[in-house]
Amino acid sequence: MGRQIYEAIADGILGGGVYALMAVGLTLIFGVLDIINIAQGILVVLGAYLSYVLSVHLHIDLFVGLLVTVPAMFVIGVAIQWLFIRPLRGRDRTSMSLLAAYAVALIIEGALYRIFGPNYVVLNAPYITSSVHLFGFYLPDIYLYGFALAVACVAALYLMLYRTRFGRSVRATMQDQTAARLIGIDVNRVAAVTFGIGVAVTAVGGMMFGATSGGFNPNSGYDLISRLLAIIILGGLGSIGGALAAAVFMTTAEALVDIWSPDWAVVVFYAALVLVLTIRPAGLFGRAPVRAQ
């Protein structure tokens, strides 16, 4: 029993790294554009299919393939923002942008169904099935590599946000868009690039999801987005540190419940969310919402 618990915690933390990366993209988009990109789930699946195509048809290694899929997803993200999010104006922009993102998700899902069909596919590589013996546990190699990659990506995002000029303009836009515009920041450009970055991380998340989930199909997006939404709300919308903490907390809690009831493990995600929000409506690390004028 004790051993199972340690293993569950290890699984939760390693798996949480990948969810953290995907959630950071989502919360970054929220912070800058004030929208929830509900298409993030299906974009992760799209990233997984891109990795699948590269590895099955072109025999490119999954990690090497990221050199292609990350820029591709960046371009897709900028295009989505340009076509569907940027034109929205007016009072109902909040709900409108959410629905526009939902429309994008439906279109991508339908397209993936038409191209790949409903059958589950898996990503294959030697390091997915092999594992290392570490501290008395057998840990799959892919989890270790994926966790390292996720940590590196999150660190790179942090450095970008806190050490570069562009990062400073992103943070300024997150704090106050009008003020950012007044001091000469090109808010539209910041929004487009941020959306692109937020979507580009789904290439990494998608590859890891495809390699560790034991099979995915176009319908997998719903499960992903619901978990990601739970994570970013629990962490507090717009809080990057909150997203990291919530991701690890949620995946660990799920892995622990999974020990005695795999059926109910997923429900823990949402139950934890509901429980936290009844006590703290702004989430664990969120700021209380400022009244919009």
Partner 1 sequence: MTGSGLAWRGGGALAVLAVLAAFPLAVTNATVTTIGVDTLVFAAAAVAWNIFSGYSGYISLGHAVFFGAGAYTVGIAARAWQLAGGTVFVLLPLAGGVAAGLAVPLGLIALRVRRHTFVVITIAFFFIAQLTATNLSVTGGSSGILAPSPNWDAATFNDPFYYAALALLVATTAASWLIRGSRFGLQLRAIRDDEDRAAGLGVRPMPVKLAAFVVSAVVTGMAGGLWFYFIGQAIPQFAFDPLFDLSVVVMAFFGGLGTISGPLLGALVIEPAQQYLTLQYTNEYLSEILLGVLLAAVILGLPRGVIPTAADRIAAIRARRASRTADAGAAGRQPVAGARAQGAGR
Q: Catalog residues that contact partner 1 under the rule CB under 8 A.
A: 30, 35-36, 84, 87-88, 90, 92, 94-96, 98-100, 102-107, 109-111, 113-114, 222, 226, 229-230, 233, 237, 263-264, 266-267, 270-271, 273-274, 277-278, 281, 283, 289, 291
Comparing CB distances to partner 1, the nearer of 5 and 106 is 106
Closest CA to 96 of 88, 106, 108: 88
Q: Please state whether beta strands 137-140 and 131-134 pair in parallel, antiparallel, or not at all (unpaired).
A: antiparallel
CA distance 64 to 69: 9
Nearest to 218, CA basis, from 46, 89, 99: 46
- Tell me the closest approach of the beta carbon of residue 90 to partner 1, in angstroms: 7
* Nearer CB in complex with partner 1: 151/266: 266
CA distance 93 to 98: 8
Least separation in angstroms between CB 106 and partner 1: 3
User: By C-beta, is 145 or 222 nearer to partner 1?
Assistant: 222
Question: In the complex, what is the shortest distance from the CB of residue 226 to partner 1, in angstroms, rounded to a whole number?
Answer: 5
State which residue, 190 or 276, has the beta carbon closest to partner 1: 276
**Is there a contact between 107 and 39 (Cβ–Cβ < 8 Å)?**
no
In the bound complex, what is the minimum distance in angstroms from residue 238's beta carbon to partner 1?
10
Where b means 16+ CB within 10 Å and e means fewer, 69-92 reads bbebbbebbbebbeebbeeeeeee
